[in-house]
Amino acid sequence: MNKVFIINNSGHDYSKAEKYGKLVYLTKGQVASYAANKSYREIADKMKDVTANDYILVTSLASLNCIAGWIIGYLRLPLNLLLYKDGKYIVRKMLPTLIYEEESLCD
């Protein structure tokens, strides 16, 4: 089953996003905005099984969204975003083909 990684469980109703997959909350409540390393460890642990069909629901602190997107990019997976607009979620998908071709990251 697909997963929807929700950046922060801040008390909003995200139930409309369930049609895209199982809801997985990466953080909860108030997050220290400068504790990026701590947030990275927490988010990475919860995203360890991310697949190409999973989504990131954009919400909360920009730094947390960056961390989740970076994890997706590092794994060379498509970035599937759920954005809230006019009372519903819209999907935006981006493929890493503009950045990565056949070469290695280490070249």
- Token digits for 40? 């990275």
Distance CA 7, CA 73 (A): 16
Express each pLDDT in 32-56 by its tens digit: 889 999 999 999 999 999 999 999 9
Express each pLDDT in 56-75 by its tens digit: 999 999 999 999 999 999 99
| Whether pLDDT at 107 is above 70 | no
| Whether pLDDT at 97 is above 80 | no
Strand order in the sheet with 79-85: 22-25, 3-6, 55-57, 79-85, 88-94
pLDDT of residue 100: 60
User: Among positive and negative, which fits the CA dihedral 48, 52, 57, 58?
Assistant: positive
